[in-house]
Amino acid sequence: MQCSWKAVILLALASIAIQYTAIRTLTSKAFQLCQLPSPQNCGLGGQETEPPFERAAAGSGGCDDYPYFSINATRKMHILILATTRSGSSFVGQLLNQHQEVFYLFEPLYHVQTTLIPRLSHSRTPADRRVMLGASRDLLRSLFDCDLYFLESYIKPTPTNHTTDKLFRRGASRALCQQPVCDAFGTADVNLEEGDCVKKCGALNMTLATEACREKRYVAIKIVRVAEIGDLRALVEDPRLNIKVIQLVRDPRGILSSRIETFRDMYRLWRIWRATGRRPYNLDLSPLTVVCDDFLSSVSTGLGHPYWLKGKYMLVRYEDMARNPLSKTKEIFDYLGLSMDKNVEDWIQANTQGSNEPSAKHKFGTVRDSAANAESWRLRLSYDMVEYTQTVCRKVLQQLGYKFAKSEEELKNMSISLVQDKTFVPFL
C-alpha cells in the first residue's frame, strides 16, 4: 500500500515537471537567445559576465530592443510587493495602482500555480516549490519587461488572438480597465469597481495591455505565492531589472483571524475551536506554522541587510499602514521615488474610513481592513487561540514588534495596543 501511495506522489511530481518543461518548450519557440548587455557594460567597459538570457521576442521586441537597459535616470522601475494572503497587501497594491505612472498587476502567479500544481496547492514538497519558483521567476521577469504574452501559456483556456477574459483579478488593475485598453473608462475615472471593469470591458486584448505597460514608468506586481525573499534573489540581482521590494507583514494573529472569516471551508475547524473553546483533535496547524516560519525566515533575510538587497528592500507592517496611512504611504513613495498624486490621496481618504461590515463583495477588498480594525482580531479570537499562536510564532512576533497578550483581560482591553512602536527604515 505504502509503496503505491509513494508511486502516486512521484507520478504527480513527474507530471508537474513535464508540464512545466512542455510550457517552457512551447514558449521558448518564440524566444531568441540574446547576448545581454548589463548596465555596467553599456559603453562603460564592464565585464561581460552575464550568460545569454532567453527572452520572448513576441510583440515588437527584438534582441536590440531593451528600452531600459541603458543607464538612464528615467529607466523603468520594477516594484515587487511580497506579501501573504490576508496581510493587507490589497491595500498597498491599490495605493500603487491609483498612481498614474504605475502599471499594476495583481498576483499573476495565481495562473502559474493553477497550471502547474492545481491539486497540490497546499503541498510544500521541495520539488513542488522548486518548480513553482523557477516558473514564477521567469514569469515575473517577463512581466516586468511588459511581456504579457508570456502569461498566456498559463491561462486556461489558452487565449486566442492574444485576447482572454480569464485573467485573474483583471479588474484590480486600473491600467487594464481604462483607455486605451478598455474604452468603457477614461484615465480620469477614480474608484473603478472591479466588477464593473470585468462586465464592461469585455475580453482583454493582451497586445493593448502590453502597450499600456510599456507606457508607464513603473511596473508593480503583487505576489502572495512566494514565501521567502531569498528565493527571489536571482530576480533582484538581475542587472536587466531595476527592482525594489516591499515586504508586507502583519501580526500573524491578525492574519489568522482574517483568514478564519475569509476562507471558511479551509478554516472550519478553527471556527469550531473558537465557538466551542476546545481545540479539535484533528486541527491542521500547518497554515499557522507555515505563515510564521515563512515570515521568520524571510524577514530575517531582509532585515539582515544582505548586500544584494541594498537599496532594494523595505519592510512595512500592515498595522503601521493602517494606523497612519497617509504618512506611511509617503514613506513608501519616497523609497520608490514616486511623487504622491491626487488620486492616491483621494483613494486613501476614501478607503481608510470605510465601514466594518464584512461583505462578500469585499472578500479581497480593502475597505474592511482599514485603520479602525488593525487590532480587531483581538475581539474575534479566543484567548486560547491567541496563546497558542504566541507559542508557535514567538520569535517572529518579537522580531516584528508585536506584544504578547499575557491574559484574557489584556487581550480584550483595547486601550492597550499590542503593536509596539518600531521603525523599519528602508535598507538604503
Side chain identity at 347, as an amino acid letter?
W
Q: How far apart are alpha carbons 219 and 103 in whole angstroms?
A: 5
Residue 72 or 121 with smaller CB distance to ligand NAG? 72
Stretch binding ligand NAG (CB under 6 A), from 54-62, 160-168, 262-270, 325-333: 160-168
115, three cell numbers: 497550471
Q: Which of 416, 420, 422, 428 binds ligand NAG (CB under 6 A)?
A: 416
Using rule CB under 6 A, residue 207 touches ligand NAG: yes
Q: How many CB atoms lie within 10 A of CB 281?
A: 6
- For residues 53 and 36, give the distance between their C-alpha atoms in angstroms, rounded to a whole number: 7
β-partners of residue 56 are 31
Q: Between the CA atoms of 357, 329, 299 and 137, what dihedral angle is there, to the nearest 10 degrees?
A: 90
Considering the complex, what minimum distance in angstroms separates the CB of residue 180 from ligand NAG?
A: 8
Residue (10 or 416) nearer to ligand NAG, CB: 416
- Residue 205 within binding range of ligand NAG, rule CB under 6 A: yes
Which stretch, 222-230, 275-283, 341-349, 410-418, contacts ligand NAG (CB under 6 A)? 410-418
Using CA atoms of 113, 115, 120, 123 in order, give the dihedral in degrees to the nearest 10: -30
Q: Where are the alpha helices (DSSP H) in 337-382?
A: 342-352, 377-380
Give the footprint of ligand NAG on residues 21-80 (CB under 6 A).
Answer: 67, 72, 74
Look at residues 229, 280, 311 and name the one whose alpha carbon lies nearest to residue 385: 280
Shortest Å, Cβ 211 to ligand NAG:
7
Q: Which of 2, 49, 160, 391 touches ligand NAG by CB under 6 A?
A: 160
Nearer to ligand NAG, 245 or 405 (CB): 405
Q: Which of 48, 165, 189, 409 binds ligand NAG (CB under 6 A)?
A: 409
**Does position 14 bind ligand NAG by CB under 6 A?**
no
Q: Enumerate residues 6+ apart whose C-beta is below 8 A from 398.
A: none
Number of residues lying near ligand NAG (CB under 6 A): 13
Name the residue nearer to ligand NAG (CB basis): 162 or 250. 162
Residues 6+ apart with CB under 8 A from 348: 95, 325, 326, 329
Question: Are β-strands 163-164 and 204-205 bridged in parallel, bridged antiparallel, or unpaired?
Answer: antiparallel
We find the least distance from the C-beta atom of residue 414 to ligand NAG, in angstroms, to be: 8
Rounded CA-CA distance 345/330 in Å is 10
Q: Which of 17, 23, 34, 208 binds ligand NAG (CB under 6 A)?
A: 208
| 55 vs 328, beta carbon nearer ligand NAG | 55
Query: Contact at 8 Å (CB) between 222 and 89?
Result: yes
**Distances from the Cα of 246 to the Cαs of 120, 195, 330, 333, in angstroms?**
28, 27, 14, 11
Which amino acid does the sequence have at 233?
Answer: R
C-alpha–C-alpha distance, residues 275 and 280, integer Å: 11
Could you say which of 18, 413, 420, 422 contacts ligand NAG (CB under 6 A)? 413
Query: By rule CB under 6 A, what string of x and - marks binding of each residue 357-396 to ligand NAG?
Result: ----------------------------------------
Provide the minimum distance between the beta carbon of 70 and ligand NAG in the complex, in angstroms, as a whole number. Answer: 6
Q: Considering only 58-66, 93-101, 326-334, 408-416, which stretch makes contact with ligand NAG by CB under 6 A?
A: 408-416
Residue ranges in contact with ligand NAG by CB under 6 A:
67, 72, 74, 160-161, 163, 205, 207-208, 409, 413, 415-416
